[in-house]
Amino acid sequence: MSLHVDTPLIESHPLSLAAGRRVWLKLDALQPPGSFKIRGIGRACEVHHERGGRRFITSSGGNAGLAVAYAGRRLGVPVLVVVPETTTDTAIALLKREHAEVIVHGASWQEANALAQSEVGATDAYIHPFDDPLLWDGHASMIEEIARAGVVPDAVVLAVGGGGLLCGVAEGMRRHGWDHLPIVAVETDGAASLRAALDAGQPVTLDAITSVATSLGAKRICDRAWEWTRERAVESVVVSDLAALTACERFLADHRLLVEPACGASLALAYEAHAALAPFDAVLVIACGGATATIDQIRRWSHRGA
Considering the domain architecture, whether residues 76 and 25 belong to the same structural domain is answered as no
For the domain that residue 157 is a member of, what is the CATH number?
Answer: 3.40.50.1100
pTM above 0.85, yes or no: yes
234 and 260, same domain (yes or no): yes
pLDDT confidence of residue 87: 86
Lowest mean pLDDT among 37-41, 153-157, 218-222: 218-222
Integer Cα distance of 54 and 66 in angstroms: 18
Task: For residue 111, tell me if it sits in a domain.
Answer: yes
- Domain contains 4: no
Where a domain ends, among 93, 108, 130?
130
Torsion of CA 218, 219, 222, 228, to 10 degrees: 100
Range of the domain at 53: 37-130
- Looking at the structure, do residues 119 and 166 belong to the same domain, yes or no? no
How would residue 76 be classed by pLDDT, with cut points 50, 70 and 90?
A: very high
Inside any domain, residue 283: yes
Residues 84 and 212 in one domain: no
For residues 145 and 158, membership in a common domain is answered with: yes
Out of 71, 99, 130, pick the residue that ends a domain. 130
Instruction: Assess whether 107 and 236 both reside in one domain.
Output: no
Which pLDDT belongs to residue 110? Answer: 84
| Amino acid sitting at position 150 | G
The count of domains in the chain is 2
CA distances from 149 to 7, 10, 144, 235 (A): 11, 10, 9, 25
The reply to whether 204 and 269 lie within a common domain is: yes
**pLDDT band at 2, cuts 50/70/90?**
confident
Which of 115, 130, 145 is the last residue in one of the domains? 130
Q: How far apart are CA 100 and CA 278, in angstroms?
A: 44
Q: In what order do the strands lie in the sheet with 124-126?
A: 101-104, 79-83, 55-59, 124-126
Q: Are residues 29 and 73 in the same domain?
A: no
Give pLDDT tens digits for 160-179.
999 999 999 999 999 999 99
Helix (H) or strand (E) holding 200: helix 193-200
- Look at residue 2 and tell me if it is in a domain: no
Q: What is the pLDDT of residue 306?
A: 52
Asked if 292 and 170 sit in the same domain, the reply is: yes
In a domain, 269, yes or no: yes
Q: Are residues 117 and 239 in the same domain?
A: no
